């Protein structure tokens, strides 16, 4: 079976490999993301993952497509990737000393069949000083991350605790994905075991 990860995220690629799936191509969707602003964060990530999967599936109709989208939400507002250092600082100030939710939408499609679901994880930041925010932004890490932080990088120093799937915060809820893939006959653990033989 030809598997395509419809994402250019190196973190998603690494997590897919960590699940035991080593044979896949990376073909990110290139279309502009379009979403109704009235959607809830859960609906938004599901809609965007469906768009990505549909675009790549149209060009590769025989492949099994895995698409994902992740956002950070606080007070009902969705925080995407920062547009500038000032924007990153504003986001980090909003997250300082409180909880927010990370949502990832997943779509898996193959042979005209598609399943879309989402995962939500609550993350609690410690109170951040202005120096914390300035130093973290100076690492460059926040600039391509939803919510302006990466829990798998230097951003781990900002996180006091989480409730839910850690890998969802990284960008790919692997437990939920493995369950969806199982419904398509793709058993990640069986693939991992075969690789180790």
pLDDT in tens, 37-75: 789 999 999 999 999 999 999 999 999 999 999 999 999
* Active-site option among 69, 75, 87, 90: 69
Specify the DSSP class assigned to residue 70: E
Going from the C-alpha of 195 to that of each of 65, 174, 181, the distances in angstroms are 22, 18, 18
Show the CA angle centred on residue 15, arms to residues 66 and 146, nearest 5°: 80
DSSP 3-state helix, strand, coil percentages of the chain (rounded to 5)?
A: 40, 25, 35
Q: Which has the closest alpha carbon to 117: 172, 191, 80?
A: 172
pLDDT mean over 149-176: 96
Q: What is the pTM of this model?
A: 0.92
* Poorest-pLDDT segment among 32-41, 50-59, 144-153: 32-41
Residue with tokens 């879309």: 116
Query: Can you list the domains of the chain with their CATH numbers?
Result: 3-196 (3.90.950.10)
Report whether pLDDT(196) > 90: no
Catalytic (active site) residue 69: yes
Do residues 98 and 124 make contact, with C-beta atoms less than 8 angstroms apart? yes
Alpha helices in the chain (DSSP H): 10-18, 41-59, 85-95, 130-138, 166-170, 174-182, 188-196
Show the CA angle centred on residue 6, arms to residues 159 and 62, nearest 5°: 150
């Amino acid at each position: 079976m030809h598997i395509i990860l419809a994402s250019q995220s190196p973190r998603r690629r690494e997590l897919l490999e960590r699940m035991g799936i080593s044979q896949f191509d990376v073909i990110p969707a290139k279309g502009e993301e379009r979403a109704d602003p009235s959607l809830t964060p859960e609906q938004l990530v599901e809609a965007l993952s469906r768009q990505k999967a549909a675009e790549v599936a149209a060009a590769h109709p025989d492949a099994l497509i895995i698409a994902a989208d992740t956002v950070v939400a606080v007070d009902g507002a969705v925080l995407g990737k920062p547009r500038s250092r000032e924007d990153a600082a504003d986001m980090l100030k909003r997250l300082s000393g409180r909880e927010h939710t990370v949502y990832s939408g997943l779509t898996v499609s193959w042979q005209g069949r598609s399943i879309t679901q989402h995962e939500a994880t609550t993350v609690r930041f410690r109170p951040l000083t202005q120096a914390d925010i300035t130093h973290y932004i100076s690492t460059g890490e926040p600039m391509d991350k939803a919510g302006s932080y990466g829990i798998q990088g230097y951003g781990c120093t900002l996180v006091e605790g989480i409730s839910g799937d850690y890998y969802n915060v990284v960008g790919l809820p692997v437990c939920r994905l493995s369950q969806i893939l199982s419904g398509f006959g793709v058993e990640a653990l069986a693939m991992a075991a075969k690789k180790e033989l």
